[in-house]
Chains A and B, each alone.
Chain A
C-alpha cells in the first residue's frame, strides 16, 4: 500500500502539468461550490437577523410578507396607514413593554426617510440582539434634526451639521421637495448590515411638520394655515406601521389575535420570525438553483479528471505490464489509479479551501461595504464537510472506473503489450 502510494505520487509528479491543470479545475469548481454555500448561509443569516427583539409588527391589513417588506426592508409601500388612536390604544395594552411607531413615505436621493420616536434608538434590535450605536452625534432632539444610517452618510458624504432636504414620495428623482424645511444632520449610526444603513431617521413630528402645506400629494403654500410651527400641535394623525415589544413572549399570539380582530380599523399583526421564514422560502428557489449549478460545475471538474485519466490509461499499459512483471497484483494496479484520483481530488479540495478563504479575506471588506453582507471567516460547518466528503468520495469513485479498466488490461495483457 505504501509502495503503491509512492508509485502513484511519483507517477503523478512525472505528469505534473496535466495533474496540476486537473487539480486546478477541481479546485475552482469546489471553491465555487463552497463559495455559493457560504454566501447562501451567510445571506440567510444576515437576512434573518435584520430584525430581532421585536415580537410583533403591526400595520394595515395586507399580506404578511408585504408588511415585512415595507416595515423592515424598506421595499414597496403600505396600502394603508394606522390611525394614531389605534396606535395609542395598542401601545397602552397591559402586555406591551415598548412600541416603535414608523412613518414612511418620503425619501432623500433614493434613500427612505423614516419618521419615528427616540424609542427607536432604545429598543430596536438586529442580529444577535445588537442595539443601535452612534458612530457620531446623538439621536434627534429638535424638530428638524435627522439621524443618518451608515451607508447614507458614507455614500452621500454627509457630515454632522450638514443640511439635508427631503423629497416627497419615494422616487430617487422626485421633483417635489420639502425645500422649505431643511434638516440638520445630528447623528450617524454605526453599520448594521441591514436596510437600516440606508435609512434617514427623523421624528414623527417632523414628518407632520413638512406635510403641513401639502394637500392630496401636492404642495400648496399657505394651505395649512399661517401659524408658526412652534405653536402648532404636531401630534401625528396616522403612522405606517408599528413594532411592538412584549413583556412576555407568551402573550404574542394573544395580542396578535386581538389586533387582527380589531374592530375600529383593518389591522394586521405578524410575528417577524414567521414572516421572515415565509419570505426566505420564496427566495429558496434561487438558493437551490445556485447550489445545483455549482454541483454541476463540480461534476464537470471530476469528469475532466476522469477523461484525463482514461486518455492516459492507454499510454500507461506499458507501465502496467512492467508492474505486473515484477509481481504487482492487479488490484494494486487498480489501487494505483484510485489513489491517483483520490490524491488529485484531495489536493484540489485543499487548494479550493485556500482559494475560498484567501478570496474571502481579500474581498470581505468589499462585500461588506457594497452589499452590507458580513461573511464570517469561520471553519467549514457540518454541511460543508458533508459536501466536501461527497466530492472526495465521488473523486475516489472516478478512480474506480479507470482502475477497473487497468485491472482488466493487466489481466488480459499480462506482461506483453502490443504497442
Chain B
C-alpha cells in the first residue's frame, strides 16, 4: 500500500549544524508518505526542532537534500520557501501558539492573510473564512460561539491548543507539523485532543507529523520514527 502513495517528505543525506564540522543533524534518509500519521519521537535536545525547521524551510541543510511535496527546498530562495510554508504547511507548537492581540477567530484565520491558496481553499469548502474558522473550532470541541470573538489570553491551555490546531488546519494544507502540542495538557485531554486532531487531518486529507517524547501516544499513529535511530550526528560527539 505505502509504495503506491506519493512521498510528502524526503530527506537524503542531510547534514545540518550551526558551525562547520559540528553537525546537529546527520540524517542519511527519512521519508514520509502522503496521508501518513507519523509519530516522531526523541528526547529533548535530540535535534527535533532543527529537523522541523528544515522541513518547514526555515533553515536549509549544509549538505544533502530536503524535498517536501516533491519540491527541493534547498534549491529555492528564502522568499519562495516562506511562501511555500504559508501555502502548504500548518504548524502547532508546544504552547503560546496564539497572537495575544487577535481574537480567537482572527488567530484561526491568520494564515489565510498570508496565503491566497489556503484562503481560496477555505472559502471554497465553507463559503467564507469566518465560517471555515467557526466550523473548524466546533469540530475541535470549541462549541460555544461566545468563545470565538474573545481575546485568546483568557482561554485555558487546552482551549488555546485547539485554536492553534484550527489555525494549522484552515485552508487544508498538505502537511501538518505538531511540535509537542500535548505536553502542556493532562492525559485525558491529551488523548481527546489527539483524536480530534487526527480526525480533522483525515477530513482535510493532510499528512500529520507529530513530535513528542511521550511514547504512550504511539498507539494513535501509523508510522513511528525515532529520531535517535535516524540521526547519526550524536554518535560523533
Most chain B CB atoms below 10 A, which of A7, A11, A13, A414: A414
B58 touches A415 (CB 8 A): yes
* Interface: A329 (CB within 8 A): yes
B82 touches A327 (CB 8 A): yes
* Interface: A10 (CB within 8 A): yes
With known contacts A414-B53, A415-B52, A326–B101 Cβ distance under 8 A: no
B93 touches A3 (CB 8 A): no
Of the listed stretches A106-114, A316-324, A368-376, name the one at the interface; the rest are far from the partner chain.
Answer: A316-324
Most chain B CB atoms below 10 A, which of A14, A324, A327, A328: A327
B101 touches A415 (CB 8 A): no
A325 touches B91 (CB 8 A): yes
Q: B174 — which chain A residues lie within 8 A by C-beta?
A: none
B91 touches A326 (CB 8 A): yes
A13 touches B101 (CB 8 A): yes
B98 touches A327 (CB 8 A): no
A326 touches B49 (CB 8 A): no
B86 touches A326 (CB 8 A): yes
Q: Which residue of B lies closest to A319 (CB)?
A: B99
Q: A321 — which chain B residues lie within 8 A by C-beta?
A: 93
Q: Which residue of B lies closest to A418 (CB)?
A: B49
Q: Mark A16-49, 1 if CB is under 8 A from B, else 0.
A: 0000000000000000000000000000000000
B58 touches A327 (CB 8 A): no
Contact of A415 among B91, B110, B111 (CB under 8 A): B91
In angstroms, Cα B93 to Cα A324, docked, is 12
Q: Mark A293-329, 1 if CB is under 8 A from B, else 0.
A: 0000000000000000000000000110111111111
Q: B138 — which chain A residues lie within 8 A by C-beta?
A: none
Q: B84 — which chain A residues lie within 8 A by C-beta?
A: 327
Contact of A414 among B58, B86, B99 (CB under 8 A): B58
Q: Mark B82-120, 1 if CB is under 8 A from A, else 0.
A: 111111000101001111111000000011011100000
With known contacts A324-B58, A329-B82, A415–B93 Cβ distance under 8 A: yes
* Interface: B56 (CB within 8 A): yes
* Interface: A416 (CB within 8 A): yes
A416 touches B110 (CB 8 A): no
Q: Which residue of B lies closest to A12 (CB)?
A: B101
User: For chain A, what secondary structure do more than half of its interface residues adopt (helix, strand, loop), or is it mixed?
Assistant: helix
In angstroms, Cα B79 to Cα A329, docked, is 7
Instruction: List residues 86-123 of chain A with CB under 8 A from any CB of chain B.
Output: none
Most chain B CB atoms below 10 A, which of A13, A15, A325, A328: A325
In angstroms, Cα B52 to Cα A291, docked, is 55
Q: Mark B44-75, 1 if CB is under 8 A from A, else 0.
A: 00000100110010110000000000000000
Q: A322 — which chain B residues lie within 8 A by C-beta?
A: 93, 97-99
A14 touches B114 (CB 8 A): no
Q: A14 — which chain B residues lie within 8 A by C-beta?
A: 100-101
Instruction: List residues 195-250 of chain A with CB under 8 A from any CB of chain B.
Output: none
B85 touches A327 (CB 8 A): yes
Interface size on B, residues (CB 8 A): 30
Contact of A10 among B59, B93, B102, B111 (CB under 8 A): B102
Contact of B93 among A13, A319, A325 (CB under 8 A): A325
In angstroms, Cα B83 to Cα A13, docked, is 28
Question: Nearest chain A CB to B195's CB is how many angstroms away?
Answer: 24
Q: A329 — which chain B residues lie within 8 A by C-beta?
A: 78-79, 82
B91 touches A416 (CB 8 A): no
Question: Nearest chain A CB to B181's CB is how many angstroms away?
Answer: 13
Q: A328 — which chain B residues lie within 8 A by C-beta?
A: 82, 86, 114
Q: A10 — which chain B residues lie within 8 A by C-beta?
A: 99, 101-102
Q: A414 — which chain B residues lie within 8 A by C-beta?
A: 49, 53, 56, 58-59
In angstroms, Cα B110 to Cα A329, docked, is 14
Question: Nearest chain B CB to A319's CB is how many angstroms away?
Answer: 6
Q: B111 — which chain A residues lie within 8 A by C-beta?
A: 326-327
In angstroms, Cα B36 to Cα A285, docked, is 78
With known contacts A11-B101, A415-B93, A326–B114 Cβ distance under 8 A: yes
With known contacts A13-B101, A318-B96, A325–B114 Cβ distance under 8 A: no
A327 touches B114 (CB 8 A): yes
A3 touches B113 (CB 8 A): yes
In angstroms, Cα B56 to Cα A415, docked, is 9
Contact of A327 among B83, B100, B102, B167 (CB under 8 A): B83
With known contacts A3-B113, A327-B115, A416–B82 Cβ distance under 8 A: no
Question: Nearest chain A CB to B176's CB is how many angstroms away?
Answer: 12
In angstroms, Cα B114 to Cα A414, docked, is 17
Question: Nearest chain B CB to A12's CB is how many angstroms away?
Answer: 8
With known contacts A13-B101, A322-B99, A327–B53 Cβ distance under 8 A: no
In angstroms, Cα B82 to Cα A3, docked, is 16
With known contacts A3-B113, A415-B93, A325–B99 Cβ distance under 8 A: no
Q: B167 — which chain A residues lie within 8 A by C-beta?
A: 326
In angstroms, Cα B99 to Cα A318, docked, is 9
In angstroms, Cα B53 to Cα A321, docked, is 11
Q: A325 — which chain B residues lie within 8 A by C-beta?
A: 56, 85, 91, 93
In angstroms, Cα B82 to Cα A416, docked, is 16
User: Which B residues form the contact surface with A (CB < 8 A)?
Assistant: 49, 52-53, 56, 58-59, 78-79, 82-87, 91, 93, 96-102, 110-111, 113-115, 167, 179
* A-B residue pairs, 6 tightest by C-beta: A327-B86, A14-B101, A414-B58, A414-B53, A325-B91, A416-B49
A-B contact pairs, 6 of them (CB 8 A): A11-B101, A322-B98, A329-B78, A414-B58, A415-B53, A415-B56
List 5 additional contacts besides A11-B101, A325-B93, A415-B52; criterion CB under 8 Å: A327-B83, A327-B84, A327-B114, A329-B78, A416-B53
